[in-house]
Structure 1
Amino acid sequence: MNHHETFEKKTLYVVLLTAVTMVVEIIFGLTTRSMALLADGIHMGSHVLAIGLSWIAYVAVRRLSQSRQYSADTERILSLSGYTSGLMLLIFAVFILIEAVQRLFHPMDIHFNEAIVIAIIGLLINLVSAAILHHEHDHGDHNIRAAYIHVLADALTSIGAIAGLLAAKYFGWLFVDALAAIASSAVIIKWSIGLIKQSGQSLIGLKKETQN
């Protein structure tokens, strides 16, 4: 089994794990009327979409690699998927940044206990997903790297949320919650731009090779 097939299975496991978590959080968010839980479930949905894209790319590569006519384009598919995931991650990070800045100037009441539990559950799910997607960075595979960065970014967001919520709950520092989100967004934006640049360069390089 080559590393593409291995990565295909890994991304499928993470998609299923994230999808189950998303459904559970949305159901309990609706039944308990917890906006925090519902929002986190919808947030999980964005990662199901992004990591699902990575899995679809591996499926496409596996099928197209059986045909000599398309064998030269398989690596481009992975780079394109990584590039697209990078853009999705960047948009997601910018959205969080805007919301966090608004929350900084217009603080709102927070249901601390529920929010902290949700953040901890999200962190655990993302740590498991990161362990599944962990790989050596010697393949130049931007697709698996994109999926890995997605779960790391989500884990970072959860850590920031936990720290901010604890500070707000026990010290009354509501602004720390927004500051943690801003800091997390800045790091995620940096990661996403790096992924976009690297996968974009790979796409250009592959295109030049096919033209020669």
Structure 2
Amino acid sequence: MGHHHSSTGQANKKNLIIAMIIIGSWMFIQFLGGLWTGSLALLADAVHMFNDFSNLFISLIAIILAAKAATKRRTFGNHRYEVLSSLLNSLALLAIAFFVVKEAIDRIISPQDVMGGAMMIIATIGLIANIGAMFALTRGDVKNNLNMRGAYLHVLSDTLGSVAAIVAAFIIYFTDWNIADPILSILISLMIAFSAFRLLKDTVHVLLEGTPDHIDIEQIKQDLLQMKGVENVHDLHVWTITSGIDSLTVHLIINPQYINQQDALIQANQYVRETLDIDHSTIQIETDDMRRFEDQNI
């Protein structure tokens, strides 16, 4: 799994760089276009793109730092940098959504004229740029990697912002209803906030060393109890170090009349590696006599 995570990290790094080039090249034009047309949707999208560029850069640095070898002070390595990057991305998305909603409410109270035609052209080109960046990121592991998912959600929020800007521009161009711009900005911001909250929830779950969603602790316990010579299972813990790297610890009490400690360890390790696909595990084999001795000395 370590080699797979390393190769996936290299692919994610390459895709992040491509997305950064696309986002960065269009960001300034979008910002100037928003100032020229007076569109909040375009300005919000440009701010999103600047924030996206920054957070894509943070995600890239996290991947580079996570690839560093483990040290005496960080025996698990630096993989948690990717989780911290995901935390920053989710908080940044929530902050963006809040400030766009706040500005949109001000625009609803005090409507401003918007150049619908120019806004439509700029927003359409922005949509193409965002789709290109999304395509680059989807070539990486955006489903299982929290860091990449955070980067992807940033670009997705920009893509939705571009769609909102196009719809708003269409309405404004044909009806002169300028309030469509802030209304659609609010709707998109609420969608962004919902996705960001889910990302934040998943990230905090990892930081609190919660059990991965795909792991059933009770099923693992039952599987271990069904192994030859295993009489009891305790101190079973499974947590995520970073996306794609899980760890397990467990104590097994065996009956030495049916199996020796070495064979018990071999069968348990085989189950953890092959069935659970977990390479990082610590399995302690005990007998009843050992357990009673430990309890007496607590």
* Helix, strand or coil at the partner of 2:191: helix
After superposition, give the CA deviation of every residue in 1:79-134 in whole Å (9 maximum; x if it has no partner): 11001101011101111111111111211000222211221111111101111111
Cα-to-partner distance string for 1:17-43 (whole Å, 9 max, x where unaligned): 2112224455xx39x972659945454
Alignment of 1:112-123 (within 5 A): 112-123=116-127
Sort the Cα spacing of 1:174 and 1:23 in 2 relative to 1 into closer, same or farther, 3 A: closer
Query: TM-score, normalising length from structure 2?
Result: 0.62
Whichever of the two has the greater Rg, that structure is 2
Matches within 5 A, 1:35-184: 36=38, 39=43, 41-62=46-67, 64=68, 66-69=69-72, 70=74, 72-134=76-138, 135=140, 140-184=144-188
CA displacement at 1:167 relative to structure 2: 1.0
Q: Which amino acid is the alignment partner of residue 78 of structure 1?
A: E
Where does residue 34 of structure 1 map in the other structure?
A: 36
Helix, strand or coil at the partner of 2:112? coil
Of 5, 9, 12, the match for 2:10: 5
How far off is 1:77 after superposition? Answer: 1.1
Which structure is higher in RCO with an 8 Å CA cutoff and minimum separation 6? 1
Instruction: Report how many residues are paired.
Output: 204
Shift of 1:203: 1.3
Residues 161 and 71 (structure 1 numbering): CA distance in 2 closer, same or farther, change over 3 Å? farther
Q: Aligned partners of 2:10 and 2:66: how far apart in 1?
A: 9
Q: Is the 8 A contact 1:19 1:48 kept in 2?
A: yes
Q: Deviations over 1:172-205 (max 9, x none)?
A: 3222222111110110010011111101111111
Runs of 4+ in 1 over 3 A off after TM superposition: 23-26, 35-43, 67-71, 135-138
Superposed CA offset, 1:45-90 (max 9, x none) = 221111111111011112x2x2354351433111110011010111
Closer/same/farther in 2, CA of residues 6 and 195 from structure 1, 3 Å limit: same
Long gaps (5+) in structure 1: none
Give the TM-score taking structure 1 as reference length. Answer: 0.85
* 3-state SS in 2 of match to 1:202: helix
- The equivalent residue for 1:16 is 21
Letter in 2 for 1:144: M
Q: Is the 8 A contact 1:96 1:185 kept in 2?
A: yes
Identity over the aligned pairs, expressed in percent? 24
CA RMSD, Structure 1 to Structure 2 (Å): 2.6
1:197 aligns with 2:197: no
Residues 123 and 71 of structure 1, relative CA distance in 2, 3 Å threshold: farther
Q: 5+ unaligned residues in a row in structure 2: which ranges?
A: 1-5, 211-236, 242-248, 250-298
Q: Distance in 2 between matches of 1:46 and 1:137?
A: 19
Q: 1 CA distance for matches of 2:112 and 2:28?
A: 26
In the alignment, the residues of structure 1 paired with residue 37 and residue 48 of structure 2 have an alpha-carbon distance, to the nearest angstrom, of 12
Give the residue type in structure 1 aligned to 2:7.
N
Distance (whole Å) between structure 2 residues aligned to residue 203 and residue 169 of structure 1:
48
| CA–CA separation in structure 2 for the residues paired with 1:33 and 1:168 | 17
